[in-house]
A and B are shown apart, each in its own frame.
Chain A
Amino acid sequence: MSVGTQQPDFAEFYRSAADECLRAVLVSIGDQDTARELVDEAFARAWASWRTVSKHPAPKAWVVRTALNASISRWRRRRREVPVPDPDMVADPPAASGASISLVDPRIMAALMRLPARQRQVVALRLILDLDTARTAEMLGIAPGTVMAHMGRAMAALRHDLQPELQQECRS
């Protein structure tokens, strides 16, 4: 497949899947700027391997899985880096952080971030990408029963975290 013929397909996929993939990665890692960077990189890899990815049964999940793997690789790499000041952050921190926070519900994001990483990944794939248990298990390389267990624990923890605030909102 030539580059010229594959671009329209990929562009269509990107337009339809980018938001969902970004939200799924955001739910998994919590930081919006990092999530954007990771998802961009994952889509770039998807374009580079579009012949394979386009035939994948769940290409969105492929992108999310790739982004999460890239997140782990990035973390490992950065442990060896020499820290230097980031002028972007120093120069304009309120604008950068404010833009990210305003788009998500901070209460729910905080509750999600209190979940273990694997539970967040299951929540991302099941709730945001709407994958079924079998496909989620396949993408994460775990048993379907384990997916159900993680999902059940995650929902219980989220309910426990968010219920009091909801009740308080109802009373007021």
Chain B
Amino acid sequence: MNDNELSTMVRESVADVHSTTPVTQIISRGRAVRARRGIPGVAGALVVAAGTALAVTTLVPSSHPGLPPSAHPSSHPISVRLAAWTVAKQADGKIDVTIHQLRNPAGLQATLRADGLPVTVSFSGQLGLSPSCQPYSTAMSSVKAVTQIHGDGLVIDPSALPSGTGVAIFDEPGKGLPVPSGTTPTLGRKPPTHPSIPRLLTTLDGPLAVGLVYASQQCTG
């Protein structure tokens, strides 16, 4: 076997491998990358008035709370950008969340809710997950349809949420959400240990989990 034959063999061994990710998804991730790169400058500005900025983030929503997601102007894509996390509302209604540090969960929760997303956010027990939050036990495909993980962030598609559900973002994945009662093994498959913890993303402060919960006033606002 000469070098040409061997080279051909190696090339042909992976010839059936094709990328299936749509370019729109790549561009969406690219926007998140850009948003992350813009953070140092914004963080520097925030040092001047950090307290004010955090208060504004927590108390003043990024958009009009009464408006549905589709009613937000597409010319205003960035909702809130902080050193700890960034929320960017995309023109197609999806919400791009990048989390670097597990800080100010109430601010993140308020910002996401203001963007029309039923959500509960809990970091390190600062907020605590309400006992009224019930995990939504469903196929992982449904959760994947709602959230797409990329590095230290995720893109949430509110329109893909199953009816009556919301998103839970929390650290301490083993403690944040209980395993739903009544979970039964599916024939031929091992039941997942934490059915409501589908995805993990990495932040500077540690791993963060994302799952689905039943929406309620007490849990997801």
Contact = CB atoms under 8 A, between A and B. Distances in A.
B207 to A, nearest CB: 5
A108 B33 CA distance: 35
Interface stretch (B10-18, B44-52, B162-170): B10-18
B26 A87 contact: no
Interface in B150-182: 150-151, 173-174
Contact of B14 (A18, A87, A104, A155): A104
B21 A36 contact: yes
Of the four ranges (under 10, 10 to 19, 20 to 34, 35 or more), the interface on chain A belongs to 35 or more
A64 interface: no
Contact of B197 (A40, A81, A84): A84
Contacts of A128: 10-11, 14
A87 B197 contact: yes
Contacts of B69: none
A27 interface: yes
B207 A123 contact: no
A142 interface: no
Contacts of B25: 40
A15 B19 CA distance: 9
B6 A162 contact: yes
A92 B195 CA distance: 12
Contacts of A46: 30
A103 B193 contact: no
Contacts of B10: 27, 108, 112, 123, 127-128, 158
A19 interface: yes
B194 interface: yes
Contact of B17 (A11, A26, A108): A26
Interface string A140-170: 0000000000000001001100110010000
Interface of B: 1, 3, 6-7, 9-21, 23, 25-27, 29-34, 37, 140, 150-151, 173-174, 189-195, 197-198, 200, 202, 206-207, 209
